[in-house]
Structure formats: structure tokens, C-alpha cells
Amino acid sequence: MNVRDQSLHAGRALSVYGETISSRLLLGTAGYPSPAILTSAVKASGAEIVTVSLRREAAGGKAGERFLDIIKDLGVRVLPNTAGCRTPGEAIATAQMARELFGTDWIKLEVIGNDDTLQPDVFGLVEAAGTLSRDGFKVLPYTTEDLSVAERLQRAGCQVIMPWGAPIGSGRGLANVHALTSLRAYFPDVTLIIDAGIGAPSHAALAMELGYDAVLLNTAVAKAADPVKMAAAFASAIQSGRLGYEAGLIPPRDMAVPSTPVAGTPFFDLD
């Protein structure tokens, strides 16, 4: 077994609503230059879950049907999302339509509260999550890094929490590392997936080094000069970050610590 295989199989596997997923990279499907590049990027990423916007596909007519055929041919799990929804009622209705169209009770729940930052409306998010969970949905909510919101989402029935790293499409990486570290420590047994704001493979590696279970991204791959190569880069970064986390990172220090101690070491006077 080579290093790459070891990183894929090391430690606790990713569990999403009781299902074991091998890849810790979830990939969005919007904004790619062509269907062929999308197909190649998904394959290069090794992703087993891809997100799809119901609104885009429903409005796409024949193009939407061809897109769904492409996704089906990839043999991956489709995670519909409620992108663009501004109210709980709108998100709930969209999720219900997605269940009929895609034949899945998994839903990436988005309720947007601000048009400039695309920050989640956490109040509407919790309301919609509770309603959908009671209706049998397996909800993966896009939220902030706020601890109290995560607690409420858990009580609403969410077994997976997806805090943002930074605003959608911003490419800023993990804007609030301290809060994300606290969230991971506070929910050690909950599946936590960083969603949004990732711009570089190093951002994804850091998320994994913090102990996050997976990363969901779209723009950083779809808008890259070479989406296929970038997808492979993210796959490698996530594997490396996870392996580093499982190996046990040394804690940061304020002062230098010699790797070769001098105590008990013989000294020779050459004069």
C-alpha cells in the first residue's frame, strides 16, 4: 500500500448520516467551462458526492436533462442544494422538489440572509432544518462558525454541520480559524464539513489539519485555469492534511526548541 492509499484508509472513515464515504472532498458542479471538463475534474478529484442546484437544472430544460445524464454517468451521489433561497418556506419547497427530481432525501440546505456576503440566515436555517428533518430529510446545513447556531441545528435534527470558511466564492480560506477550532473541539463526534470560501489547496489542507471531516468547494476548481489539475491538487491536499491530523501535529511554540539537545553531549576542544 503506497502513501496515497494509506492516507485514504487511515483513521476513522468519513460518515455522513450513517453512510461511509471514502473521499473527503465534496465538489460543486456549477460554472465549469464545459461538461467534458466537469466530468474530468470530478474524476480527478475522487469525489463521491457532488452538489447540484435544483433551480439551475429545473430552469435548464433540455440542457438540464443532459447535465443530469452526465452526473448519473459519473456514478456519484447527488447532493441537491437550495441555493438562492431567501426564506425557510422557499428552501423547504425547493428541498421537496429536489427529493422528487433526484430521488434522494439528502439536501444541502441554504437559506441566504445577505445578498452581498451570501451569509446564511441562521434563524431561517434552523427553522427550515427542523421542518425538513421531521419530514425525513437528511439535512446538511450551510451555516456560519457560530457555536450556538450549530447547537440549534443539532437539536433540529442535523447530524452534519457545514460551517463556512469564508463567503461563497471569495477564495479567502479559513477567515476565522480560532472559531472553527473551537467548533471542532466543542463537537468532537459530529461530522463537520467546511463549506465555502476555500480558494487554494493549502486552505483545504489547513481545514483537515484542524480535524474537520471533509471540505466542500466549487469555485476554486471550476474557475481555475486548469480545473482538472486543480481538482487533483485539492484531492492531494485534503489527503495530506487529514493524514497530518491523524499523525498528530506538534503544538506551536513561542520559542525555539533544538531538535538536537545539547545536554549530555560531549564537546571536543580542538585547540
Is 196 annotated to bind a ligand? Reply is yes
Label residue 191 left, alpha or beta by phi (over 0 means left) and psi (-120 to 50 means alpha): beta
Asked whether residue 218 is marked as a ligand-binding residue, the answer is yes
pLDDT at 132: 98
What share of the chain has pLDDT > 70, as a percent?
87
Per-residue pLDDT tens for 163-186? 999 999 999 999 999 999 999 999
CB atoms within 10 A of CB 187: 15
Question: Exactly one of 108, 138, 223, 229 is catalytic; which is it?
Answer: 108
Active site residue 72: no
169: annotated binding-site residue?
yes
pTM of the model: 0.88
Mean pLDDT of the chain: 89
Backbone angles phi, psi at 77, to 5 degrees: -80, 135
**Per-domain residue ranges of the chain:** 15-247
Q: Taking residues 97-106, what's their average pLDDT? A: 93
Classified as helix, coil or strand, 84 is coil
Nearest alpha carbon to residue 109 among 143, 135, 78: 143
260 against 148, higher pLDDT: 148
What is the CATH topology of the domain spanning 15-247? Answer: TIM Barrel (3.20.20)
**pLDDT at position 85 over 80:** yes
Determine the pLDDT at residue 7.
44
pLDDT at 127 over 80: yes
Amino acid (1-letter code) at residue 2: N
Closest by CA position to 110, among listed 130, 136, 88, 131: 88
